[in-house]
Amino acid sequence: MITERDIEVIQFLHDRLENVYKENKNVDYLIRTREIIDKLKEVHLPNVIQSLQSKSVENANKHYAISYEELSDEYQREHEALIWGWQDCVAEIKRLCKC
Domain boundaries, the chain: 4-97
Which tens digits make up the pLDDT trace of 28-77?
Answer: 999 999 999 888 888 776 776 666 666 665 655 555 555 556 656 666 66
Q: Is the pTM of this model over 0.75?
A: no
DSSP string, the chain: ---HHHHHHHHHHHHHHHHTS---TTSHHHHHHHHHHHHHHHHHHHHHHHHHHHHHHHHHHHHHHHHHHHHHHHHHHHHHHHHHHHHHHHHHHHHHHT-
pLDDT for 6-22, tens place per residue? 888 899 999 999 999 99
**Which of residues 41 and 95 earns the better pLDDT score?**
41
